[in-house]
Amino acid sequence: MAEEQQIADIVLHPVRMKIIQQLGGRSMTTTQLREALPEVKQATLYRHVAALLEADILAVIEERHVRGATERTLALGDRMAHVGHGELQAMDAVQLRSAFTMFLSGLSNDFERLLDDDRTDLRGSLGFARAVLHLDTQDLEKLQTELMDVLTPYLEKRKEGQRRIAFATVLIPETDD
């Protein structure tokens, strides 16, 4: 396992980010992943899946035999493809720009898929806003803990009729008070 390798070094690759974005909150077979990412060559996809598996960012949650081959079902692994505060602080400006650009790219892709879909009922679940908060370090830690407590029940599908909705947060400290 690549435990000593920084998670940012692993995830901040365009193909790996696409894979992670596809698997966020759900599981997919490698075939489904190939279909969802037709612009990525099969060999390239498998190479990046292998790197993510080795780093515990992805996990194989099921294997089944299909026509003499083993089909794997993948999901986010233990490391959850999350770049923590310590790693963010260790990144230089170029790495931070790259990480943030990848994050925004994922949001933009989700938004474009919504706009490309003809079903206007999907827009009823759309929302975006910006709020300025006043927090110290302890407040921020408390907010993040409380937010996870609120969100945890909604991370897994619990009943039919529920729709997947991407929820993103961005914390950017203002440089002048």
Enter the DSSP assignment of 49.
H
Q: Which two tokens stand for residue 135?
A: 């927090």
Do 11 and 20 contact (CB within 8 A), yes or no?
yes
Where b means 16+ CB within 10 Å and e means fewer, 101-137 reads ebeeebeeeeeeeeeeeeeeeeeeeeeeeeeeeeeee
Q: Which residue has the tokens 């996990």?
A: 59
* 106 against 74, higher pLDDT: 74
The pTM assigned to this predicted structure is 0.64
pLDDT tens digits, residue range 98-119? 778 777 777 777 788 788 888 8
> What CA–CA distance (Å, rounded) separates 111 from 62?
30
pLDDT of 177 reads 61
The domains found in the chain, sorted by start residue, are 7-154 (1.10.10.10)
Res 2: pLDDT: 42
Tokens representing residue 78 in the block: 């233990």
